[in-house]
Amino acid sequence: MTRLPLQAVLFDMDGTLVDTERLWWEAVEHVAGRALTEADEADVLGRPVEHTAAWLAAATGAPADALADELHREFADRVRAGIVPRPGALDLLDALAREGVPTALVTASPRAVADTVLAALGGASRFAVSVTADDTEHTKPAPDPYLAACRVLGVDPSGCVAVEDTATGVASAEAAGCTVLAVPSLAPIEAVPGRTVEASLEGITPSALRSLLPHRLRVMTWNLWYGGTKVHDHRAKQLKVIAETDVDVVGLQETYGTAAEELADALGWYHHRAGENLGVISRYPITARFGDPDVGFYGAAGVRVRVHEGAEADVWTVHLDYKEYGPYATDGDPTAHEDVRLAQMRDALGRVDDSVPVVLVGDFNSPSHLDRPDADWPVTKAAEEAGLRDSYREAHPDLVAHPGHTWSPIHPVREDGSGRPEPQDRIDFVLHRGLRVLDSETYVSGRPRPWPHVEDNDWPSDHAAVITTFSLGNGTAPV
């Protein structure tokens, strides 16, 4: 199993690193002139001063600005009187520093309060960056503070663990895409998938935080082009590509019958073969197989892979009919002959299970409606209407900077002998539902020579592959 690497740990301040939530609660009670109750928590805990001041103003009629100033003074007086680090907090910060894991302070408190607390913790040097309520337009529960910290650190939120003590802070971190370790201070927090709850930070280690991160699922779609037989030493070159790209699951088309089994055996992987054309190979165990095992040359086949205990995903490979390729049309509607491909896609979509995350890959022999405004390309649109997202376009929305062409790296001109240019299009896809896209790329090894001089190419295909890296959550976990 491959987990995402721990890129940084992002700490809330009040109630997480230092025992200030009680001090804040007492300051609000003093300004409000009454004891607070559980019903007040949503407007007090994890909220910036301005929010709580506006809430008090609505209840008392006093000016919000004056209430905010009084809250600042009351809370700062209590902080200066003495704050106590929460159990295990300093030990965890020291351990992360020893292992070179970057840390950030992400708080809804103003800069003046954060600086006071940082001084009590031994100085701002404990953190590579600190983000306060003064530094973003929106503070918690909006994701802005955590996203800002990740930008400054140059890390991806999916590789970060956020440590929080309130539901408001948890909402902010999760909205930013972080894994959350919650250590509730005053109000309870529920453990759900992707969020772990512990009573304190005592005994929490960097290794334990790494164990909370999602698992990686790296999926490739690859049309092997007659099994790769047009190129010398094609099987060895296919294995080299799979090793160099470090993929986890490959949806194959044009397997020439035996490619899935032979590749899997050489890699020590699992495999599924469907008919003479389709296959899936996986480094993870295959726990179920879907679709007609005797499917014809065109169609769909799927598997369920167990990425880790308690988390599975379905991966489908699809190959649609190539005839009457729409971009070749010189007049009229280029989608006039899409009915066959659309029917094949709808058949595949009808087989997809909604109960687990799904990845549907393949050679659609049709462009995407997201790429070409010349027509309402129905095949990819049908997939979108079924709730599947285009991972490459999700990662690369700029069509000019990232066209993502997969057809064809070896065909600058059409194969029909006309000498006409080959329309370079994106016709191979990695679609998904229920996963988070971390990255997506098209892939071709070496510098392929054009057809027909392809025998010695390093790249044993006439299509570019598409590779998408997803994160797959691991649920709650003991640390």
Say yes or no: 174 and 290 in one domain. Answer: no
Q: Do 353 and 224 fall into the same domain?
A: yes
What is the pLDDT at residue 477? Answer: 42
In a domain, 479, yes or no: no
Catalytic residues: 12, 14
Q: What is the pLDDT of residue 47?
A: 81
Q: Is residue 356 part of a domain?
A: yes
Domain extent at residue 448 = 215-472
Q: Which of 149, 180, 213 is the C-terminal boundary of a domain?
A: 213
Three-state SS string over the chain comes to CCECCCCEEEECCECCCECCHHHHHHHHHHHHCCCCCHHHHHHCCCCCHHHHHHHHHHHHCCCHHHHHHHHHHHHHHHHHCCCCECCCHHHHHHHHHHCCCCEEEECCCCHHHHHHHHHHCCCHHHCCEEECCCCCCCCCCCCHHHHHHHHHHCCCHHHEEEEECCHHHHHHHHHHCCEEEECCCCCCCCCECCEEECCCCCCCCHHHHHCCCCEEEEEEEEECCHHHCCCCCHHHHHHHHHHHHCCCEEEEECCCCCHHHHHHHHHCCEEEEECCCEEEEECCCEEEEECCCCCCCCEEEEEEEEEECCEEEEEEEEECCCCCCHHHCCCCCCCCCCHHHHHHHHHHHHHCCCCCCEEEEEECCCCCCCCCCCCCCHHHHHHHHCCCEEHHHHHCCCCCCCCCCCECCCCCECCCCCCCECCCECCEEEEEECCEEEEEEEECCCCCCCCCCCCCCCCCCCCCEEEEEEEECCCCCCC
Write out pLDDT tens, residues 33-86. Answer: 899 898 998 888 778 788 999 999 998 888 999 998 898 788 878 777 767 789
Residue 202 shares a structural domain with residue 240: no
| Cβ count within 10 A of residue 179 | 25
Q: What is the mean pLDDT of residues 426-448?
A: 95
pLDDT at residue 475 is higher than 60: no
Q: Establish if 249 belongs to a structural domain.
A: yes
pLDDT at 474: 52
Rounded to whole angstroms, the Cα distance separating 130 from 145 reads 10
Q: Which of 154, 182, 213 is the last residue of a domain?
A: 213
Regarding whether 102 and 18 lie in a shared domain, the answer is yes
Question: Is the per-residue pLDDT at 196 higher than 90?
Answer: yes
Q: Is residue 273 part of a domain?
A: yes
pLDDT band with cut points at 50, 70 and 90 for residue 442: very high
Answer yes or no: is 477 within a domain.
Answer: no
102-116, 177-191, 300-314, 390-404: range with highest mean pLDDT:
390-404
Q: Does residue 364 lie within any of the structural domains? A: yes
Provide mean pLDDT across the span 275-281.
96
What share of the chain has pLDDT > 90, as a percent?
71
Provide the number of structural domains found in the chain. 2
Amino acid 117: pLDDT = 82
Do 421 and 431 fall into the same domain?
A: yes
pLDDT tens track for 329-353? 877 889 988 999 999 999 999 999 9
- Burial class of residue 207, CB neighbours in 10 A (0-12, 13-18, 19+): exposed
Residue 123 is assigned to a structural domain of this protein:
yes
CATH assignment of the domain containing 67: 3.40.50.1000
345 with 251, same domain?
Answer: yes
Same domain, 228 and 185: no
In a domain, residue 318? The reply is yes
Residue 202 has pLDDT above 90, yes or no: yes
196 and 277 belong to one structural domain: no
CATH code at position 368: 3.60.10.10
Instruction: Indicate if the pLDDT at residue 5 is higher than 70.
Output: yes
Mean pLDDT in the chain? 92
In the predicted model, what is the mean pLDDT of residues 311-320? 95
pLDDT band at 456 (very low <50, low <70, confident <90, very high): very high
Task: With a cut of 90, say whether residue 466 has pLDDT above it.
Answer: yes
186 vs 201, more confident: 201
Q: Exposed, middle or buried by CB within 10 Å (0-12, 13-18, 19+), for 417?
A: exposed
**Are 47 and 150 found together in one domain?**
yes
pLDDT number for residue 116: 79
User: pLDDT tens-digit profile of 366-386?
Assistant: 999 999 988 889 999 999 999
pLDDT band at 476 (very low <50, low <70, confident <90, very high): very low
141 and 12 inside one domain:
yes
Domain boundary among 155, 187, 213: 213
**What is the pLDDT confidence band of residue 276, given thresholds at 50, 70 and 90?**
very high
Q: What are phi and psi of 314, to 5 degrees?
A: -95, 135
The verdict on 201 and 229 lying in the same domain is no
Same domain for 410 and 311:
yes
